[in-house]
Chains A and B, each alone.
Chain A
Amino acid sequence: MNIARWAAIAVTAALTAGCAPSTADPTTSADAKTGTLTVWLYDEADRSPKEKVLADAVHEFTGQHKDVKVEISYIPTDPGPRAEKMKGAFNDPASAPDLAEFGNTDLAGYVAAGAMADLTSAIGSWDAAKDLPQDVKDAATVNGKMYGLPWWVGVRALYYRTDVFTELGITPPTSYAQLVDAARKVRKAKPKMLGIAVGGKYVFGALPFIWDAGGDLATESGGKYKAAIASDASKAGVKNYAALFAGDICPPEQCADLTGGKTVDAFAAGLAGMAILPNSSRGKVDAGATKGKYGVVPLPGAKPGSIAPAFAGGNDLGVLKSAKHRTLAIAFAELLASKKYQLAMYDAMGNLPTLSGARGAVVTKDKFLAPFVNTMSAGTRFVPNTPAWTTIDAQTVVPTMLQKVVAHKATVDAATAEAETAMNAAFGG
């Protein structure tokens, strides 16, 4: 036998073995009652308060469950790295956590990937569940089954610098025109400050402008979605948002690449006159130079006195289908979502509780929340509730569109048309 024959054998072996990579085994969850419970939570701009609450919860939990350890990892929250991380877990059940925190916008895609365990009956038998408002439960429901335990909700409003506004004699804006005007005044008087911190990658900051102009990401009819981002109304909203990326407000050089998290940083560090931030950013802002020097009002719409519709954000806790400690994971999730720890998370992070009782308690106690509650009552909106949204998000369709517009790399017409095509491809239309 010579080399040639060996080579031939090797090639034949490779070819016969050569089928496509196997698809993952239909994973069945195990239900060990001891061992290490692995939990993935979102990393935060300032993680330490969250870590502290979690340490308490873990202490209480391991006190109740002997021979159980809880290992908590913090995962990145930027869309790209987050998607890679979660997909890694779906592709390799062995390295997946038992319990994970995720944004409610991601749920539909995760369910379509076959990754999440159905929690309908578990939540049904959870005592506190009756205290969950219906709209919150709906956002954790796909095809009539609940896959997530709602942990907290959040909406965004307009933070502004009280000291700077007083000094310049401006009042908090109650319309888009006033917002632009106030932003210009701040930057003119304080050239080191951004008039308002907005970001080219900050989708949830941009959406209120699109919704306020009467536009939307997509429209639904009969369960089918169709992109609407290139409609005239949507384009008007995009233009309004992009107009804030100007040398005399938020120069594109500095702002085109900002994420929502970076706008929090800029405002907290005292480098911005205003910012569109969620209630949960309060902790981070209080830890920075801006502490004690800011107020919050609802983000105004174009019509004077109106409130721009906010994105109904919120995070769920979900058990993975591949979990090895199903019961323990559910028990730990229920502990974290209990009134006690929802309140603790509110105190630490400013996360608005999902349980009505807990929410009522904090709203009456803390008048900081008034503008957020007003924003919620004015009506909130959501991204398309379909698995395709996860794809659109992972392909960074909307941030790419925004960045092209704000950095003047494409016209509004061209950028929105491109985004519309990409979205429709994902919707399968």
Chain B
Amino acid sequence: MTRAAWRAAANLTGLAVAAVVVFPIYWMVLSALKPSGEIQAADPLPWTGHPTLDHFRSALGVSGFARYFANSAIVASVVVVASALIAFLAAVALTRFQFRFRTVLLVMFLVAQMVPVEALTIPLFFLIRDLGRVAPMAGLNTLGSLMLVHLAFSLPFAIWMLRGFVAAVPESVLEAARIDGASQSGVLWRILFPLAAPGIAATSVFSFITSWNDFVFAKTFIIGTEHQTLPAALLVFFKPDENDWGGIMAASTLMTLPVLVFFVLVQRRLVAGLGGAVKD
């Protein structure tokens, strides 16, 4: 086969793979827009002539998905901001200073990612319950409890990934600022932070996912329904009677959209960060 033929075959394969990979997402959005009759039909069509927002309306209205969406958004925003700040500081300490146990700490952050979250749910459940007695804002059944645990479980990866970005800022820039008389905290917040900001944004995607996608903590800590978040609330749609696939797909679409937007916004930086996590 000629070089051109190879290349054409490669291109075709690439497009075919892309179509297969994106198909479930397409099917999700399509089914969310299909009228119920078409979903139940014996002959599913790969398009619809009668798009409807009924499933979105019923998800947001009847099933109270708007509230769960808001709960998820509040928790995720707090986690993203807090995690970015804390991880930035820790990453500075780990990259721009040499101290004893630095390597030990690094390894610990890697090992921390191996701990099975679901198993830790057991002691955390009791810890959060007891915490609720002294700090009702963070006890069981509160968004506060989710913020705390999501923060704790997003930090190891955030710190690990952010190191690369912080390290990439040339020391000479910071030195110049110091010569100009900037204070230590001035260098930290006015020079280093803005320069690492794109990386912080990329890192935030993963903190966001940790919080937004969390199913097991929400399911375990939130016993009532009022403070439930999206993933656990999605199980509401799996009713004892016939699954309401239109509603499930509409709710899934609503849940996927923010992550997708976030990913597209920071996609350029994602790889840089993941690559940066390799060093040491």
Contacts and interface: CB of A to CB of B under 8 A. Distances in A.
Interface of A: 2-4, 7, 21-22, 43-46, 73, 77-78, 85, 88-89, 91-92, 94-96, 259, 261-262, 265, 269, 284
18 contacts: A3-B100, A4-B101, A21-B126, A21-B129, A43-B240, A73-B225, A78-B240, A85-B223, A88-B140, A88-B223, A94-B132, A94-B139, A94-B140, A259-B240, A261-B241, A265-B240, A265-B241, A265-B242
A45 B242 CA distance: 9
B244 interface: no
A77 B242 CA distance: 16
A265 B242 CA distance: 7
Contacts of B100: 2-4
Q: Please list the 3 inter-chain residue pairs (A to B) with the smallest Cβ-Cβ separation, ordered nearest first.
A: A21-B126, A88-B223, A261-B240
Nearest to A25: B133
A96 B224 CA distance: 8
B223 A89 contact: yes
Nearest to A262: B240
Contacts of A73: 224-225
Interface of B: 99-101, 123, 125-127, 129-130, 132, 136, 139-141, 220, 223-225, 239-242
Contacts of B223: 85, 88-89, 92, 95-96
Contacts of B130: 21-22
A22 B220 CA distance: 18
B241 A46 contact: yes
Most buried by A among B140, B224, B242: B224
B102 to A, nearest CB: 9
In this complex, which of B127, B223, B242 has the most chain A Cβ atoms within 10 angstroms of its Cβ?
A: B223
Contacts of B136: 94
A117 B261 CA distance: 51
Nearest to B219: A84
Contacts of A265: 240-242
Contacts of B141: 92, 94-95
In this complex, the member of A78, A92, A284 whose beta carbon has the largest number of chain B beta carbons within 10 angstroms is A92
Contacts of A21: 123, 126-127, 129-130
A7 B101 CA distance: 10
A77 to B, nearest CB: 7
Given A4-B101, A261-B240, A265-B241, A95 B125 contact: no
Nearest to A261: B240
B186 to A, nearest CB: 25
Given A3-B100, A261-B240, 11 more contacts: A3-B101, A43-B239, A73-B224, A77-B240, A91-B126, A92-B129, A92-B132, A94-B132, A95-B141, A261-B241, A265-B241
A91 B129 contact: yes
A311 B80 CA distance: 53
B140 A92 contact: yes
Contacts of B240: 43-45, 77-78, 259, 261-262, 265
B46 to A, nearest CB: 25
Nearest to A21: B126
A77 B241 CA distance: 12
A95 B101 contact: no
A21 B141 CA distance: 18
A259 B238 CA distance: 14
Contacts of B99: 3
Nearest to A3: B101
B34 to A, nearest CB: 20
B142 to A, nearest CB: 9
Contacts of A46: 241
B241 A95 contact: no
